[in-house]
A and B are shown apart, each in its own frame.
Chain A
Amino acid sequence: MANRIPRVPVREQDPKVRATNFEEVCYGYNKEEALLEASRCLNCKNPRCMTACPVGLQIPRFIAELAQGNIAGAAAVIAEDSSLPAVCGRVCPQETQCEGSCVLGVKGEPVAIGKLERFVADATLGKAAAEVAPANGIKVAVVGSGPAGLACASDLAKWGYDVTIFEALHKAGGVLEYGIPEFRLPKDKVLKHEIEEVRKLSVKIETDVIVGRTVTIDSLMDQEGFKAVFIGSGAGLPKFMNIPGENFNGVFSANEFLTRNNLMKAWREDYLTPIHAGKKVCVVGGGNVAMDAARTALRLGAEVHIVYRRTEAELPARKEEVHHAIEEGIIFDMLTNPVEVIGDERGWVKALKCVKMELGEPDESGRRSPVPVEGSEFEIPTETVIMALGTSPNPLISKTTKGLEVNRRGCLVATEEGATTRPGVFAGGDAVTGAATVILAMGAGRTAAKAIDAYLKQN
């Protein structure tokens, strides 16, 4: 009978209201809603949802606990595999992973696994207590405090290792802190607590340490006694289009725009950080970062256009994010590709010159590749252009570490288990794959933790 209950809708902030503030868009379930939704789970013998989860979260088990009203029990099940459930419940692409594999989704709506995970995590924020093995005194260094580093550090700490995370910025969290906006992932309310949980496992986090500048992988291993290193430094280098006019004032990388607003809190009156949006903003790109930048600019008071060279069907961003962006009033200029940034006499952006595109033959990826329509150039007047074209790994570490190979895209070469070309040095997340998702990075961090444990037991 349970599956006759329709998926419990989740309450959200009104689009008109939220377009003017940085409060969280989604309110999440209350207890009553969560328990009702949890009762929909069929508790499959072969849970496809679990197989589809990059960290192997025991989904039916935690939902079963929740359905019985045992929230603490559900949290304990989650804590076995994830150190960031409040984050994942919010930013994971569940529709292509756990929920995308849910049996209920074949004929109807899948169980709202993400929203349930979020409910359990929020209800027990700061209360989860994972078991920690006795300290073994073996030092492991983790580079970067983003999702990959936090996941790797948590597992190693649980197994008794003496883990130090080195973070280049002044605040821990990596892309969760500088990249994902407050309205999708509240920092003080949610993220801070999950990072605190990692600290409670005796993981030390040293901020303001740039590996490759302040210290090197070699100095950590040779002089500071670290027996293994995990590199989870992400993909932080912004891409530009290399079109004329890109250095005019008012052209920013999405990284700069989002870092100013998220890490440096430009949206708050009491912080000194300046940010420039103006009355009209064009965001170039169609991924989650483009959506985040666009919705941030909107909240700062601008009219915002997403400029993307393919159609809405090909947008790489999550459906939910696109849907939220449309609801909030972001204008989508599809099949449009910038060819030049036009500046005024003072060197500030005044327009984005674009060409119309049409979809041609499918390329190797199976997607129809966009081709310019001849003679279709036109200008979109705008004050600001934000380039959200993807990011690549920062070469600071690979350039300063001997024996660490990178591929032609600048990504660290590593095995499935995370072993790099240098013994004792492991890597995972965006630093290896190029820009991907929070949960894939966490999965890679956990896999590497296992490999580090095996390596240290052998050596």
Chain B
Amino acid sequence: MYQILSKEMLTPAICRMKVEAPRLAAAAQPGQFLIVRADEKGERIPLTISDFDAKRGTVTIVTQKIGASSTDIIAYEPGEAFADVVGPLGLPSEFVSMAPEELARQRYILIAGGVGTAPVYPQAKWLKEHGVPVDVIIGAKTKDLLIYVEEMRSVCDNLFICTDDGSEGFHGMGTNMLEHVVSEGHKYTQAVIIGPMIMMKFTTLTCKKLGIPATVSLNTLMVDGTGMCGACRVSVGGKTRFACVEGPEFDGYQVDFDEAMRRQGQYKAEEAEANEKHVCKIGRGK
């Protein structure tokens, strides 16, 4: 069992939890993810790792309320435990294995959208710790949906905030923000984009226009996360790849986002039906 040590709601729909998982915490690297199964009857839900502490044996996960299973995860309280937390899954970010001289030439821009801001944090932290220049853009629909602003400020050189409605920071989307930042003279060798699939698609296009190579982290459907089911298959450069073991990070220029978005909705009908039947577990045991 994997005990929940702390819990806080970052927004009414986004929850941060610190969970005890010593083996996972000792092995985790930026770019990797994990799978949570709340209880015996729950699904295996892939979630990003937003922090890990090998010494304390903990991992931090950030979950957004979407369907029945994520709602169940959020309903857990400190002191309770998840049935399963498994990982780390996927490959670490490319920079983790880069030669020092190559790393020294890099200037990173990390572009985060919505709940995707959480997994950007360990990447920025790693780059900062290794002395690599790193700027971060956090975008959200509105001020109240911004997460990780203060945490991120401490692990990057420049933090740029933007909201679709202009309620905080730059008025516009991540794509507009990026163009603005570059027009002000900031130069980057590599972008990493993490957020909703549609945001990654358009931000990749902007990067292409600006001539910045773009890495994206794909949050595909999956069951086991170890290469067994093939539910996560994506077309990258015309070839089928498994996001769980060959990703989750891929060259954004090569990803067929339209196919990826379509495949993400593969179980929508079944899930809608499940949500209708689902008995919410919030407040259970009280």
Q: Which residues of A contact B (CB under 8 A)?
A: 168-170, 178, 207-210, 213-215, 236-238, 240, 242, 246-247, 249-250, 252-253, 255-256, 259-260, 264-265, 269-276, 346-347, 394-396
The 8 A CB mask of B207-248 against A (1 = contact, 0 = none) is: 000000000000000011011111101010000100001000
Given A240-B240, A264-B43, is A396 in contact with B227 using a C-beta cutoff of 8 Å? yes
Known: A210-B86, A276-B267. A394 touches B227 (CB 8 A): yes
User: Contact between A256 and B231 (Cβ–Cβ < 8 Å)?
Assistant: yes
- Whether A272 lies near B42 (C-beta < 8 A) is yes
Q: Smallest CB-CB separation from B235: which chain A residue?
A: A247
Not counting A168-B86, A272-B43, a sample of 7 additional A-B residue pairs whose C-beta atoms are within 8 angstroms of each other reads A170-B44, A236-B227, A238-B230, A255-B228, A255-B229, A259-B228, A346-B262
Closest to B90 in A: A213
Identity of the chain A residue whose Cβ is nearest the Cβ of B89 in the assembled complex: A213
B274 contacts the other chain (CB 8 A): yes
| Given A247-B259, A260-B223, A274-B274, A237-B228 contact (CB < 8 Å) | yes
B227→A274 contact, CB < 8 A: no
B105-122 CB contact bits vs A (8 Å, 1 = yes)?
Answer: 000000000000000000
Task: Flag if A253 contacts B230 (CB, 8 Å).
Answer: yes
Q: Are B267 and A207 closer than 8 Å at their CB atoms?
A: no
Residues from chain A with a CB closer than 8 A to the CB of B27 are: 213-215
Least CB distance from A396 to B in Å reads: 6
Shortest distance from the beta carbon of B246 to any chain A beta carbon, whole Å: 10
Question: Quick one: CB contact mask for B136-162 with A, threshold 8 Å, 1 for yes?
Answer: 000000000000000000000000000
Q: Return chain A residues, CB-CB under 8 Å to B278.
A: 272
Decide if B85 is an interface residue (CB 8 Å cutoff).
yes
Least CB distance from B201 to A in Å reads: 16
A396 to B227, CA, bound (A): 9
| A264 / chain B contacts, CB cutoff of 8 Å | 43-44, 223
Q: Which of B37, B72, B89, B270 is A210 in contact with, Cβ under 8 Å?
A: B89
A184–B227 alpha-carbon span in the complex (Å): 25
B87 and A347: CB pair below 8 A?
Answer: no
Q: Take A214-B27, A214-B86 as given contacts and tell me if A168 and B271 are in contact as well, using a CB distance cutoff of 8 Å.
A: no
In the complex, whether B55 has a CB less than 8 A from a CB of chain A is no
**Contact at A396–B266, with CB atoms within 8 Å?**
no
Please report the C-alpha to C-alpha distance between residue A396 and residue B224 in the assembled complex, in whole angstroms. Answer: 13
CB distance from A393 to the nearest CB of B (A): 10
Render B33-53 as a binary contact track against A, CB cut-off 8 A, 1 for contact: 000010001111000000000
Complex CA gap A60/B80 in Å reads 53
Cβ–Cβ < 8 Å partners of B87 in chain A = 210, 213-214
A237: chain B residues within 8 A (beta carbon)? 227-228
In angstroms, how far is the closest chain A Cβ from the Cβ of B229? 4
Contact of B230 among A240, A274, A396 (CB under 8 A): A240
Compute how far the CA of A175 lies from the CA of B95 in the bound complex, rounded to whole angstroms: 36
A238 touching B84 by the CB < 8 A rule? Answer: no
Quick check: is B263 within 8 A (CB to CB) of the other chain? Answer: yes
Residues on A with beta carbons closer than 8 Å to the beta carbon of B37: 170
Q: Does B104 contact A (CB under 8 A)?
A: no
The 10 A-B residue pairs whose C-beta atoms are closest, nearest first, are A274-B270, A256-B229, A274-B267, A208-B86, A253-B230, A170-B84, A236-B228, A347-B262, A238-B230, A249-B266
Residues of B within 8 A of A253 (CB): 229-231
- CB of A276 within 8 A of CB of B227, answer no
**B63 touches A (CB below 8 Å):** no
